[in-house]
Amino acid sequence: MLRAHLQRSPRIVRSFALAICVLLMAVWVATVPGHARPQSAIPSETIPLPNLRQPVEILIDHWGVPHIYARNEADLFFAQGFNAARDRLFQIDLWRRRGLGQLSEVFGPAFVEQGKATRLFLYRGDMDKEWAAYGPDAKQIAEHFVAGVNAYIDWLAHHPERIPWEFKELNYAPAKWSADDVVRIRSHGLTRNLNSEVARSRVMCAADLKSDEVRLGLQPPWQPQVPPEIDRCLPKDLLRVFMLATQEVRLTPAALKATATTPPPHPSTRASK
């Protein structure tokens, strides 16, 4: 059972028998200002879920921050995924689609090029070795988390009135996750260093390496060395694919218009990898 409520100092509420609550998830939704209120006035919601092993509680304080209490690690990360989806399903669904190159599936041809570029950065190596590099329990934790996300998507199928407004407005359904999605997506984790290195090369091409110190000083101080066989003048469109793969999702009027004529995929539908 998972329970959450709005209060000044979170505390675990034990008001359900374990035999009854193993298949229950309770969420107390914070919808009121953060001032002291009687226990009976705190809004609450109980959601039965077959995936939980034991009761779980989510307590939401007066800042709107959820505090998750579980009796085992599996339920803890499952509840975290469920609550993340409950709070920001449209955002994480959009991030996932962007990272997997699946935006055109719901937004049409305006996003085909971005999707093609993003898929070039997907991890396609040995997944077992990759998971092992993160730690012995990393994959299991990710599986519990995405199971919680997917449980919320399944719950919405029976409660369409709770589907986030964005999905209704844009005429498509949230997609199911797999644990591998968390690892395979790399475009969200690429840093600014590539942009800086390319900018340094362009300054060297137009002037010299010393001039780049005016643009950006290295910390700690360091004098780069450029092998003589390296061409300092890079192609102008060198970063085109990289920028496409890492740019934000831009829902232009044209893209939204195309969405209106695209049949929404079933929540369990997945594009080919």
Q: Please write the tens of the pLDDT for every residue from 207-226.
A: 888 888 888 888 888 888 88
> What confidence score (pLDDT) does residue 264 get?
53
Architecture of domain 73-150+160-261: Orthogonal Bundle (1.10)
d(CA 107, CA 61): 37
> What confidence score (pLDDT) does residue 272 get?
40
Cis bond upstream, residue 43 (ω within 30)? no
> What confidence score (pLDDT) does residue 259 get?
61
pLDDT at 133 over 70: yes
Average pLDDT, the chain: 81
Percentage of residues in the chain with pLDDT exceeding 90?
Answer: 50
> What confidence score (pLDDT) does residue 111 get?
93
pLDDT digits (tens, 9 = 90+) for 162-181: 999 999 999 899 999 999 99
Report the amino acid identity of residue 156: L
Q: What is the dihedral of CA 32, 80, 107, 187, to 10 degrees?
A: 130
> What confidence score (pLDDT) does residue 190 get?
72
Of the pLDDT bands very low, low, confident and very high (cuts 50, 70, 90), residue 271 is: very low
d(CA 196, CA 213): 12
pTM beyond 0.85: the answer is no
Domain with CATH 1.10.439.10 in the chain: 73-150+160-261
d(CA 127, CA 138): 12
Of the pLDDT bands very low, low, confident and very high (cuts 50, 70, 90), residue 187 is: confident
> What confidence score (pLDDT) does residue 257 get?
72
d(CA 147, CA 51): 8
> What confidence score (pLDDT) does residue 258 get?
61
pLDDT digits (tens, 9 = 90+) for 42-96: 788 888 888 899 999 999 888 889 999 999 999 999 999 999 999 999 999 999 9
Percentage of residues in the chain with pLDDT exceeding 70?
Answer: 79
Residue 233's SS3 state is coil
> What confidence score (pLDDT) does residue 39 get?
59
Q: Which of the pair, 229 or 25, is modelled with greater confidence?
A: 229
d(CA 81, CA 87): 10
DSSP state letters, 165-214: HHHHHHT--PPPP-HHHHHH--TTT--THHHHHHHHHHHHHHS-TTTHHH
Neighbouring-strand partners of residue 57: 26, 69
pLDDT at 135 over 80: yes
> What confidence score (pLDDT) does residue 263 get?
55
d(CA 57, CA 68): 6
> What confidence score (pLDDT) does residue 116 get?
96
Contact indicator for 212, 200 with CB cutoff of 8 Å: yes
Q: Residues in the chain, how many? A: 273
- As a whole number, mean pLDDT of residues 234-248 equals 92
- As a whole number, mean pLDDT of residues 139-145 equals 97
